[in-house]
Structure 1
């Protein structure tokens, strides 16, 4: 008899498995349909001996001291601040758009205050900001929107930015200084020995039993458990009874090159050229020394593993139908990106899992007190 059956060994499932086993002394069965733990953060050494991320680059960053402190129990860190360049007009320029970007693109020598005025002269002020196009055009104008965002967004989502929720492009800020870091979070690091090693340490507990290559539907009737934590697609759990929630997927094309380096930064975006959106070179991320280098091209596509929930109002309404079904279930928790149909960063998934654990603890504490009152044992000597 397991106290918890947890479906999915990515961040959400693994953090909850560790907390329940370590803090609450619960017996946990953790299952995953893939042949490895760590979910989409899984990394491994390729044939050349270079540490690569199987499901595309995962760059850790957070403003949460709680999340960083928690993960620090299971890994040492390598300081790393991610930088991204965009291939535009025959040159590589910093992304997000900053002072250097504009000066390079237009052959100018603006100061920060002059750049603010430059953006204001280009911006198309809008009364309402509803779409991804609105977000960008209202800040930097149409020309920069078309250079940096329109093509990239069309490739990534197979939709025009005017059809997408404002949250998509709101994730990428515009700066008036020379800060060329992709993220500005307080904590920016990579697990020193990789994500998979971090997960192995997280799940190394006698109360945790792991089954890989296992679909939960094949074992759900065979396993004795008290409560379920589901981190897979919520529509799959309910047998798609209202229809499938739409996702974008990605095809990854890996290459190992017989050269020391391929590009000057970890990632280069290609907003307007080629079928791929970006190329990532893994040695920048890991700091690994190697005479060869491995890179990955990302080709967005409609079919395949679900990576990105598509942020449109009708998709949100469809998710809410499933959410209402989920709310009626007892002893069942839906946690993580797929189970809540939200595009979370890794740290946000960890935070959600830690929050869910606190909720579970609170519920169990309340139930224990209720049980004592019901049986008249509370307050006796």
Structure 2
């Protein structure tokens, strides 16, 4: 079911399961990681991960990771993400050598009691290769009474190849299985941003749902509120999310596709032919009058820079009291998007930004090019 991984069972006081991917170097870190039975011995339900260092794929130079460890998270595409340790977790820890609680794991590297691994249902055998299994297992650990921790004193070197030597065609089905079994009503937030995932065959999850029932696992709301409160939960109000389309420029949608996956802000929104696949064309209009691009994390909000008419994306503010005036829009009943600060409306204009159509601020009028509407699916 997971041919890209190797599962080793090491006989260390009643057996710890050590999982490592084929692209990982087993260095003296194993001494530290497998000393983790001291942690697991205190709490058998603890699943412990190392800090993942980088091995340069071409030269095999061990680059290490000198900075502060980060915790795992995810965005609403169900893509794993890294984050700084939140303040609440910093306060809980008494020293820099204390374990760090993490909502999710990167996958492929962890130590766990074999007995507890079996109790949790080991891996979902309906998943193939890798992709999504790390989030599924993370949800299961927390929701079923365990804990997921990163040990700051344990480091593992990992080679990140330029291109995977195998297909990840099943990664989408894996993510759908995770959503269907563990996310309850919140799976809709995933499907809204990945409409094609609704059509993906994902196999039979009856046994996994029975496992969840047998273990009396908590719901996903509990996970969000107690384990990952830093994750913004979109409102996705009916009629205010999906493709943001223009009436005058038919079949063109708001589109935001920053060139760097890790730099979600600082670029401009354009208009591009609607593709109905969510992702870079998924937007939400919030009750706080924001136009949010919340497919990725961190989330970005549309804003108007002083002296320009374009929409540029900036980080959204979690505190509604701190929303900048240049990020506030009123979605009026006639379909116009009114920018409060400039008292202008967004209008679709052709060849306005690097040869692409784009939404620009213009004096408000009754033009069809100033009328906008959301459509959930194509």
Give the TM-score band, short-chain normalised: under 0.3
Greater percentage in strand: 2
Greater percentage in helix: 1
TM-score w.r.t. length of structure 2: 0.20
Q: Which has the higher contact order (CA 8 A, sep 6+)?
A: 1
